Amino acid sequence: MPHAMTASERANLPRWHGGAGFVEIWFLVVFHPATASALWLRYTTFAPVRGAQAASRAIVWAAWFDATAAEPAVAMKAIHPAEAYGPGTADRFRIRIGACVLGEGHASGTVSQGGRRLAWDLAFIPAERPADAEPWLLRRLPLPVHVSRPHADTVFSGTITVDGVTRRLLAAPGLQAHLWGTRHVEELCWLYCPAFAEDPSARLEAASARLDRKIAGGIPGPWLTPVAWRSAGGDVASTGLVASLRNRLAMSGPAALELRAASGSITARAWCAPESLVGYVYRDPDGRELHVAQSDVASCDVEIVTRRGRQRFTSRHTTAVEFHAPEPLPGVRYIGWDAEALAGA
């Protein structure tokens, strides 16, 4: 009997079919609020543009964050030849890179470098349909990069093993997203929090991105910043095209973000310890490099204003923040594109 695919499973199906000039990403963030820790995973295929002096590859990236540890972040990656990637079948989502697997409702694998080892064996609850927050118009334009959230605000159960120490997770909040296209955006800030002390069902996500710093004639490229809030008291969405152009999410310090929705209904501040940031060098298929720094044990204060009044929500060490630009952040160490661990690690 044929497998009946949900809209979320279809949204996860691979878009790369072996051609040149393409990058595809599936990433997961898994929080463990009880221990102020989190796991970040990224399954990637990369194909340089035609004529480039580089080979296609498949990469698994992994980072473990622990806000209470002397070493708050452990990060590494495994670079494989493209032949180590398996796209699965057309009627079921299940990709493989080496021994690492991501499928509908399941992720498992291991990355080891320099005597360090991260392993995961996780199940998560699949959603019926993606939770796409971008303006609908953008999802229909022929842009060079696309994003979908097949399993947003899901919960994970299973095990995470860090250097031989196994942690068992039960109903740990997190998400799984899918990106693909011919390049990355040039600049991006991201804020995501699925765990607030005042309301376990509350969720906040905001991403501010611009495809290019400069467009025709040297004009600064526009920022698009969709913002979505969900809670037991009601949802607040600021995701339309006009609102996304007016919302603001920007750095307010070396490791902090300030958010303000254009309507004034949502304001937030997120921050992390600078030493908890993990740095990776990404590369576009045309060879341009980007620097991405991320912490998944950041904290966040949110204020929501509705007709019912003003509410405040707090998250401590259960927030993801990301800073993505051509230049590195001062003080952050980055794993190079051709490296699998930090130099000297």
With contact defined as beta carbons under 8 Å apart, do 115 and 100 qualify? no
Average pLDDT over residues 91-120: 96
Q: Per residue, what are the HEC states of 155-221?
A: EEEEEEEECCEEEEEEEEEEEEEEEEECCCCCEEEEEEECCECCECCCEEEEEEEECCCECHHHCEC
Q: Given this model, what pLDDT does residue 157 score?
A: 97
**Tokens (6 digits) for 217:** 């004639």
Whether residue 34 is contained in a domain is answered as yes
Dihedral of the alpha carbons of 281, 178, 267, 318, in degrees to the nearest 10? -80
**Tell me, what CATH number does 28's domain have?**
2.40.370.10
Q: How does strand 236-238 pair with strand 309-325?
A: unpaired
Q: Confirm whether 228 is domain-assigned.
A: yes
343, part of any domain: no
Identify the pLDDT of residue 131.
Answer: 80
pLDDT tens track for 26-75? 999 999 999 999 999 999 999 999 988 889 999 999 999 999 999 999 99
Mean pLDDT, all residues of the chain? 92
Structure confidence by residue, pLDDT tens digits, 254-282: 899 999 998 889 999 999 999 999 999 99
What's the rounded Cα separation, in Å, for the pair 95 and 337? 22
Residue 322 has pLDDT above 90, yes or no: yes
**Amino acid, single-letter form, for residue 240:** G
Query: Is pLDDT at 135 greater than 60 in this prediction?
Result: no
252 within some domain: yes
What's the total number of domains in the chain? Answer: 1
- pLDDT for res 234: 85
Report d(CA 28, CA 318) in Å as an integer: 14
In a domain, 1, yes or no: no
The helix or strand, by DSSP H or E, that contains position 243, with its residue range, turns out to be helix 241-246
> Is the pLDDT reported for residue 130 higher than 80?
yes
Residue whose C-alpha is closest to residue 58's, from 93, 23, 103: 23
Q: Does residue 33 contact residue 297 with C-beta atoms inside 8 Å? A: no
Closest by CA position to 234, among listed 304, 317, 324: 304
31 lies in some domain: yes
| CA nearest to 29, candidates 192, 165, 161, 189 | 192
Sign of CA dihedral 59, 33, 171, 259: negative
Share of the chain above pLDDT 70, in %: 96
Q: With bands split at pLDDT 50, 70 and 90, how would you rate the model's confidence at 138?
A: low
Q: Phi and psi dihedrals of 228, rounded to 5?
A: -135, 130
More confident residue, 111 or 132: 111
How far is the C-alpha of 324 from the C-alpha of 290, rounded, in Å?
A: 7
The amino acid at 333:
R
Query: What's the start-to-end Cα distance of the chain, in Å?
Result: 50
Check residue 16 and give its pLDDT.
95
Given a cut of 70, is residue 304 above it in pLDDT?
yes
pLDDT at 103: 97
Q: Is residue 342 domain-resident?
A: no
Instruction: Please report whether residue 39 resides in a domain.
Output: yes
Which of 302, 232, 217, 226 shows the shortest CA–CA distance to 268?
302
Reported confidence tier of residue 133, pLDDT bands at 50, 70, 90: low
pLDDT tens-digit readout, 220-239:
899 999 999 999 888 888 88
Range of the domain at 217: 7-335
Mean predicted confidence (pLDDT) in 188-202: 94
Q: Report the alpha-carbon angle 174-255-138, nearest 5.
A: 55
Give the model confidence (pLDDT) of 149-178 as tens digits.
999 889 999 999 999 999 999 999 999 999
- The mean pLDDT value for 74-98 works out to 95
Neighbours of 48 (CB within 10 A): 20
Distance CA 323, CA 318 (A): 17
